[in-house]
Amino acid sequence: MIMAGGSGTRLWPMSREALPKQLIPFIGGKSLLQIAAERLDGLVPPAQRFVCAANKHRAVIQQSLPAFGGDHFLGEPCGRDTLNAVGFSAAVIARRDPDAVIAVFTADHIIEPVDEFQRIVASGYEVAEKFPNALVTFGIAPTGPATGYGYLQLGAPLVGPVPDRAPQQAKDAASGTRPTARVVEQFKEKPDAATAQSYFAAGASRYLWNSGMFIWRADTLLDCIRRYSPENHAGIMRIADAWDTPQRDAVVAGIYPTLKKISVDFAVMEPASRDPKVRVAAVPMPLKWLDVGSWPFFAQTCPRDADGNAIAARHLLRRTKNTLVASNDPKHLIATIGCEDLIIIHTPDATLVCRADQAEAIKEMHKLVGEQFGSEYL
């Protein structure tokens, strides 16, 4: 199941309510969601893939990815954070397959190489098959003391033989040493700068970034939600019970917006790491992993000129260094003189210019635009 419900406010003004970041075809002409779906080719059959996204984006998603039609599109009437997205999806999928093992992926990452990604995911399936009470997450080796990611504090290896019922794709994983799953002693949500520095200094053998990707049995996840967030569980199960009935749309529209808005990390993974009934495990994913959540990270996907400028637009740059220029209009020209360390984003109705080191303030700018101009530019 691919989660594709984010708003992408830090990629404003190109990311909008009608076409948020995961649906913009700005990575070599493809959207992040298209890239996420293609990463699964050869690993998960199309018939076993689902996307959870906003109902209002159903048409644009199915236009570029027809495989997510019908019941393969799990529509949210509004965003209620990741706990409800994964819980709702697990409950609906479990109606068709009570023994389902579900891998949860995000629609805003660039991950390479794909064959190694698939090999590591296959090993995650093995862990979930072997330990039915396991919640498996994938950890990324930190490249710096980032404060914008959660951290996984690693404990002892999770060891044992792989059972015969492991998925065939896991058994047939590419040759090489499979990454060893590690017990997650604690989830550490977005630390302050000093704490992040201490985690980074401890090394990847002790702390990994939380990638936001998971594998678990549907029934194991739902039982955790029942015990840790009973009100969310009650609402999710009412939706699942109505899913194959004529009342589906009315029940979803009535219940989903009332569910407590909370992330799966806070609601499930943190308490699960302290719960003796559950095993939380991290599988290291030592790959090129890029969370395309802001313009500086988008710039890392772009070709660069000799002066370090990231180019995603028709351009004419003079005495300009380390600047991102991007436009969603192929005929629009961005021309600069004497610029350095800037972000310049053009769209037909809004243009953003900011210093690269102020990129995190774009989220606040998005809020101010809404307050002063209404939804016109959102």
Model pLDDT for residues 151-165, shown as the tens digit of each residue: 999 999 986 543 333
In this prediction, residue 149 carries a pLDDT of 87
Residue 200 has what pLDDT?
96
How sure is the predictor about 171, in pLDDT bands with cuts at 50, 70 and 90?
very low
Q: pLDDT band at residue 172, thresholds of 50, 70 and 90? A: very low
- Fold of the 2-291 domain: Spore Coat Polysaccharide Biosynthesis Protein SpsA; Chain A (3.90.550)
**Mean pLDDT, rounded, of the chain:** 93
Asked if pLDDT for residue 331 goes beyond 50, the answer is: yes
Average pLDDT over residues 252-262: 97
> What are the structural domain ranges in the chain?
2-291, 295-373
297-317 mean pLDDT: 97
The rounded percent of the chain whose pLDDT value lies above 90 is: 90
Better-scored residue on pLDDT, 263 or 168: 263
Strand partners, 182: 157, 282
Q: What's the pLDDT at 178?
A: 65
3-state secondary structure the chain: CEECCCCCHHHCCCCCCCCCHHHCCCECCECHHHHHHHCCCCCCCHHHCCEEEEHHHHHHHHHHCHHHCHHHEEEECCCCHHHHHHHHHHHHHHHHCCCCEEEEEECCEEEECHHHHHHHHHHHHHHHHHCCCEEEEEEECCCCCCCCCCEEEEEEECCCCCCCCCCHHHHCCCCCCCCCCEEEEEEECCCCHHHHHHHHHHCCCCEEEEEEEEEEEHHHHHHHHHHHCHHHHHHHHHHHHHCCCCCHHHHHHHHHHHCCCCCHHHHHHHHHCCCCCCEEEEEECCCEEEECCCHHHHHCCCCECCCCCEEECEEEEECCECCEEEECCCCCEEEEECCECEEEEECCCCEEEEEHHHHHHHHHHHHHHHHHHCCCCC
The pLDDT of 21-46, averaged and rounded, is 96
Q: What global pTM score does this model have?
A: 0.90
Model confidence at 168: pLDDT above 90? no
